[in-house]
Amino acid sequence: MIDGAGEQASGTKAPPLSDLGAERWAWLFSWAPALHSRNFRLFWLGQLVSVIGTSVQVVAEGWLIYSLTESTLWLGMVGFLALLPVIPISFAGGVLIDRVPRRKLLLATQTLLLLQALTFGLLAVTGAIRLWQIVALYFVFGAILAIDHPARRAFLVDLVEEGELANAVALNATVFNLSNLIGFALAGVMIAAVGVGATMMFNAATYFAPLVALLLIRMADVSAEQSAGGQSARFRVAVWEGLAALWKRPDILGVISLMAVVGGLAYPVFGMMPAFAEDVVGTGSVGLGILLSAGAFGSVLGTAVVARAGVQHRGRTLTLVSLALPLLVGVFAFTKSLWAACALLALIGLTLLVLQSLTITLVQVHIDNRVRGRVMSLYSQLHAGSDTIGNVMIGGVAGYIGLPIALALGAAAALIYAVGLRAVLPAVSRFE
């Protein structure tokens, strides 16, 4: 659709395959038709570079926090503190995403993220970093992401035709998971070689890639409300319109709840990885990078599965992965071998990615573009909130009964919810 409102509005269409290096790339475009859009290609490549840096920083931050505190609770608590600004800001941000041209909004948020990362890196390089500063910077990071993440998701519909949206969603997930695969492995080596501070400065530098990409995108900067020809409602009314759009679709709410509960209780496998690597498997920062890269590798495989999948049986597939994921986490919880853990993490990464990609695809396909920003903000709140709350819960319980048992209990709760939702709301399994 964005090509209709963007590239076509500017009088430029995506160049034909012959202009892109011809037939040797034809296989790529047949697998990833969304890449036909020049605007989407630019956005995708810019995000790929940036998220590699973010993945590197996630590992560095986790390593730094655990080095300072030696506490699994703080590993989850710092992320929880970053969640605090998300809820109030996301409501306002959702309205903003629908009322401001999304490209311009993303230029602003990406610039702010660059400044936040640069501050974090400078403090770490100088050795002046303290726990309270990490908490404050996480709070700022969460406030910016409260607008940036849903804006990026909503922006996809502006970059591709409607028939390519599902593929664009899958490729967008590829960005995060391919970046994690590279970034997590790179982080372990960088922390050991140059230290945490230089590793964080690397992340700050990568934010220039999406900024350049957004500047090169050619499109008409029109807000979703302007393109729909509607009048802007008052802020409070606009927020309730987004909530009402979801309330009228219990099947969509059921899909989102699977992602929130099952995904949220599975995600601590990755959130608690510094503690798992150090205390359970007994590896250092390099081993931590290997473990996280295994999960990211599985996610990349999951992305390939979603990108090539058809539009049929999405609900049934979603139900199956929501049952398989807790079982895999339960087995992983009691694994003490590095390589067995890597194999299980690859499977966990694959199923978690399929769960998240199917959820966002079904939400994107079945909501009105006029309220897309608000719905995506609500989705992002639940997504970020469930992962963070899951980390806090599992991290807190792990301090008393040990990490393996805490992970297993979370997996059992997730399995019970998935089975219960399938019985109570069978419409989720019938989604196409």
**Who's near 375: CB < 8 A, 6+ residues apart?**
94, 242, 245, 246, 363, 367
Residue 206, in any domain of the structure: yes
Q: Where are the alpha helices (DSSP H) in 37-101?
A: 38-69, 72-83, 86-99
Q: Distance between CA atoms of 14 and 228, rounded to whole angstroms?
A: 24
User: CA-CA-CA-CA torsion for 421, 388, 84, 111, nearest 10 degrees?
Assistant: -110
CA atoms of 322 and 341, how far apart (whole Å): 20
Q: Map tokens 């903003």 to a residue.
A: 96
Distance between CA atoms of residues 219 and 10, nearest Å: 6
203 burial level (CB within 10 Å; 0-12, 13-18, 19+): buried
The H or E element spanning position 119 is: helix 102-126
Domain annotation covers residue 17: no
Identify whether 230 is part of a domain.
no
Residue 304: inside a domain: yes
Does the predicted model carry a pTM greater than 0.95? Answer: no
How buried is residue 373: exposed, middle or buried, by Cβ count under 10 Å (0-12/13-18/19+)?
Answer: buried
| CATH number, domain with residue 305 | 1.20.1250.20
Provide the residue type at 17 as one letter. L
* Any domain includes 20: no
Residue 12: the pLDDT is: 39
If you search the block for the tokens 């209990």, which residue do you land on?
409
Token pair, residue 250, equals 């219990």
The Cα 430–Cα 432 span in angstroms is: 6
23 within some domain: no
d(CA 343, CA 291): 9
* Residue count (the chain): 432
pLDDT along the chain (432 residues), means of 10: 38 44 57 80 91 87 80 71 70 75 91 93 86 85 85 84 76 77 82 86 93 89 52 57 70 82 85 79 74 82 69 74 91 87 91 84 72 72 75 84 90 91 73 62
Question: Cβ distance 338 to 357 under 8 Å?
Answer: no
Work out how many domains the chain is built from and give that number: 1
Which amino acid makes up residue 176?
A: F
Please state the φ and ψ torsions of residue 4, each to the nearest 5 degrees: -70, -40
Is residue 18 domain-resident?
A: no
In a domain, 19, yes or no: no
pLDDT value of position 24: 56
pLDDT of residue 288: 79
Specify whether the CB–CB gap between 143 and 89 falls below 8 A. Answer: yes
* pLDDT for res 229: 47
Structural domain of residue 193, as residue ranges? 2-11+30-225+235-430
Nearest to 408 by CA among 397, 417, 420: 397
